[in-house]
Chains A and B, each alone.
Chain A
């Protein structure tokens, strides 16, 4: 997926909404290149359990770097239907391909209210520029 096609939370998660074969809306969630660059030196990721229901803004897990730990917040509400099980063993995917191989969870959406709060690529770029490096 191209970064330009995604929506972004202020807390640096990206979201891509698609439909599965049954027509259900599925949100794929990851963290942005900016976030990975800001964290640097990733050492650990905690993934949520498949089947868990999450609310908008609830913690999905955490990413730990040498320096600090950061929560991952769910930009949408729904049931976690898939997690990227290859990530804990290959954290470099978050750095090398944050919007592709570095995806983190897929959520079957029950609550779309969070979507209206998300930023498009341009607005997110602006926020990142303001936060600076």
Chain B
């Protein structure tokens, strides 16, 4: 089976640095090198390096891309300025979430404007097919650049300082959710002030052939300031603390963006995209379950799928749970009946037949201070 899995350009590095590899969305990815908690804390306190090359990357060159993407995603694409990056959703005709994506509007090193969509690895084929089905017969040309590039997330309070000497564009000069073409050690690539950890930091996209050299340089620089390579295990604990949803857990085709607390990523005024009409009706529907966060009083850890009770009745379900290394207590996200979302609401999470007290909290669980 292993031979069926895709490997990122950094696979050999992971394997030779003690990573435990797991099958994730048909990619062989490092889940941890030594300890999830150590990698988590290194990212919160210094810097963590993440190979996120499995994320799908679609590139749009051509005259119709702005209008085309504007008619696909929940966020307005028309009017995006070069350098801007937007978080958005792709929804089906019923308003259910097909994926959550980042849209980049960048200028390449020849001055040509282009768009890029970064999609979840698990949805790469589905979104590709969705784009194909909606392209019509127009001249929209786009390509999947996932395997010819690598993507590296550098996250944490020391992230920008270790990237700065390697990039012609100073990441500190980029505002949050903007990006730019740059050069890393003479190789062109893109840099963006984005991430999925709740920390400051940036993400780099480079040619696959240049990835190892850049990663090695970043790793040496990270190690010198107390940072480390970090796997998908702590990527999950970090994003959970930051209250960020993960597709396949908090998001799926049965969930609409408003339930998920992602109304800010939906522009409905004067828009046309799949699900637009359905979402207009769903916007004010308070009867559906809503996404919330819970903190637990005990030590048992809630996991995906565990039922949530109030007054003896099942009222919700856990979609992600972990022991929070930063807060030193179990935390979870999940969906609950609309009248039980207020912060402080007490519920019982059924953890393998033990009903454990949990309290709703305002997301995120963790917010960085600087």
A interface residues with partner B (beta carbon < 8 Å): 40-41, 43-44, 46, 62, 64-69, 88, 133
Contacts and interface: CB of A to CB of B under 8 A. Distances in A.
B35 A64 contact: no
B228 interface: no
Interface string B279-303: 0000000000000000000011101
A66 B322 contact: yes
Nearest to A46: B300
Contacts of B32: 40
A40 B31 CA distance: 12
A32 to B, nearest CB: 17
Given A43-B299, A44-B299, A64 B20 contact: no
Interface residues of B, number: 18
Contact of A43 (B34, B233, B301, B352): B301
B237 interface: yes
B157 to A, nearest CB: 22
5 contacts: A40-B34, A66-B233, A66-B237, A66-B323, A67-B31
Interface centre among A43, A64, A88 (most CB of B within 10 A): A43
Contact of A69 (B31, B37, B301): B301
A69 B330 CA distance: 13
Chain B interface SS verdict (over half): mixed
Contacts of A69: 301, 303, 352
Nearest to A59: B352
A46 B352 CA distance: 12
Given A40-B32, A67-B36, A133-B20, A62 B352 contact: yes
B263 interface: no
Contact of A44 (B31, B36, B37, B300): B300
A71 to B, nearest CB: 9
Interface in B300-323: 300-301, 303, 322-323
A41 B36 contact: yes
Nearest to B32: A40
A64 B325 contact: no
B36 A64 contact: no
A68 B303 CA distance: 8
B219 to A, nearest CB: 21
A40 B352 contact: no
Contacts of B37: 41, 66
Contact of B36 (A40, A46, A88, A133): A40
Contact of B301 (A64, A88, A133): A64
A111 B35 CA distance: 38
A33 to B, nearest CB: 15
Contacts of B322: 66-67
Interface string B318-335: 000011010000100000
Nearest to A64: B301
Interface string B260-292: 000000000000000000000000000000000
Given A66-B233, A67-B233, A41 B35 contact: yes
Nearest to B234: A66
Contacts of A133: 20
Nearest to A40: B35
Contacts of A62: 352
B128 to A, nearest CB: 31
Contacts of A68: 303
